[in-house]
């Protein structure tokens, strides 16, 4: 599977080229366009391993109930993917490891990758984010999306990230939820609220814009239907 990212970084789209019999699994509604030799199969989980329970967990994590599998038939074909919000995409290569992805940031992956949901503990409840995050495990390519630009931060020890700016992180990292300032009062008056303090060694991928803050800002200006 060959992946090209075009129109970076503000309006990135992914062009995925598949050889015959190759399969790309993607979030429902992510397809922009495709060649006419691509066959689509829709399931609630990995093709051949359907599980309604895992599908429901995906919904809790902010993902769609269904996922689509794009397979090239007798000749090579291509599929274009994009996201609802303007921003960037990143291709990550997993080598028999697990990548934890914030809900709604998963876009597509090679068919070898297992897609599951992981309980992040009650600490996620207090972070204001979802308690189930997408766990991608295996060997192969993964495409994740961000609202705005996406960039990696190498963590070795401790690092603090706003909960709304996390796209993904290595399973080697653990995190705790804590206040941003010296006191809870200063944290909330300063508009920072709760943050994730990561521990360990690994990479956190962050997005430059916060979807929840953008929604709150825009929502008050929208006319009621």
Q: Contact 174/204 with Cβ under 8 angstroms?
A: no
pLDDT at 162 over 70: yes
pLDDT, tens only, 43-99: 876 655 555 566 665 555 555 667 899 999 999 999 999 998 899 999 999 999 999
Q: Contact 177/194 with Cβ under 8 angstroms?
A: yes
pTM of the predicted model, to two decimals? 0.83
pLDDT, tens only, 166-210: 999 999 999 887 766 666 666 566 555 678 889 999 999 999 998
In angstroms, the first-to-last Cα distance of the chain is 43
- For 108, the token pair is 């597509």
Domains in the chain with CATH codes: 2-220 (3.60.160.10)
pLDDT at 122 over 70: no
Most confident by average pLDDT, 41-55, 103-117, 127-141: 103-117
Query: CA-CA distance, 197 to 131, in Å (whole number)?
Result: 16
């Amino acid at each position: 599977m060959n992946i090209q990212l075009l129109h970076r970084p503000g309006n990135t789209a992914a062009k995925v080229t598949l050889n015959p019999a190759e399969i790309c699994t993607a979030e429902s509604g992510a397809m922009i366009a495709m060649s006419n030799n691509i066959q689509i199969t829709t399931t609630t989980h990995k093709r051949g391993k359907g599980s309604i329970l895992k599908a429901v967990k995906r919904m809790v994590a902010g993902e769609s109930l269904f996922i689509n599998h794009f397979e090239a038939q007798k000749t090579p074909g291509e599929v274009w993917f994009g996201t609802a919000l303007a921003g960037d995409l990143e291709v990550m290569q997993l080598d028999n490891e697990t990548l934890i992805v914030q809900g709604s940031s998963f876009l597509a992956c090679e068919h070898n990758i297992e897609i599951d949901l992981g309980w992040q503990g009650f600490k996620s409840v207090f972070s204001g984010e979802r308690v189930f995050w997408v766990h991608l495990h295996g060997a192969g390519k993964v495409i994740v999306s961000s609202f705005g630009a996406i960039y990696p931060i190498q963590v070795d020890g401790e690092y603090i990230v706003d909960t709304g700016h996390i796209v993904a992180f290595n399973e080697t990292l653990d995190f705790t939820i804590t206040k941003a300032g010296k006191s809870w009062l200063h944290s909330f008056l300063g508009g920072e609220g709760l943050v994730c303090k990561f521990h360990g060694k690994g990479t956190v991928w962050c997005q430059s814009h916060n979807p929840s803050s953008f929604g709150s800002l825009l929502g008050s200006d929208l006319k009621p239907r």
